[in-house]
Amino acid sequence: MFEANPTPAEQIERLEAQLDELREAIQRSRRLVVAGRACAFAGAALLVSLALGLATFAPVRMIVGIILAIGGLVLMGSSVGSTKQLELSLKQTEDERKAAIDALELVQLGDGAR
């Protein structure tokens, strides 16, 4: 699939594809952070409403509230960590791509004025 010594153009193309994949993964991870926050907020709101008597108390509701709150925090925390790692990988890949482009030693043409 990949040659032993890819040409600079092939290497840049591969890095750009990798950048697109990393950007998509970062978007998914950020959506999971938002979902985790929503779950944590919903669980906490349910527990507060049970404590204040705004909702009728039932053991199942209390358990669901605790599960939502803790599960949301765990989801949010792990997704934040994943997002940071993905962003670091994105920066490193962008640096590799920039280095590959710089290695091409492209000649900049003048504005055409003589």
Residue 2 resides in a domain: no
Residue 18 resides in a domain: yes
Angle between helices 59-103 and 8-52 (to 10 degrees): 160
Residue span of the structural domain in which 21 resides: 8-99
Q: Give the chain as a 3 state SS string.
A: CCCCCCCHHHHHHHHHHHHHHHHHHHHHHHHHHHHHHHHHHHHHHHHHHHHHCCCCCCHHHHHHHHHHHHHHHHHHHHHHHHHHHHHHHHHHHHHHHHHHHHHCCCCCCCCCCC
Mean pLDDT across the chain, nearest whole number?
A: 89
pLDDT per position as a tens digit, 57-69: 899 999 999 999 9
Residue 42 resides in a domain: yes
The total domain count for the chain is 1
Residue 109 resides in a domain: no
Residue 111 resides in a domain: no
Whether pLDDT at 47 is above 90:
yes
Residue 1 resides in a domain: no
Q: What's the pLDDT at 111?
A: 67
Residue 29 resides in a domain: yes
Residue 70 and residue 41: Cα distance in Å, rounded?
10
- The candidate with the shortest Cα–Cα distance to 105, out of 2, 10, 8, is 8
Whether pLDDT at 112 is above 90:
no
Whether pLDDT at 1 is above 70:
no
Burial of 35 (0-12, 13-18, 19+ CB in 10 A): middle
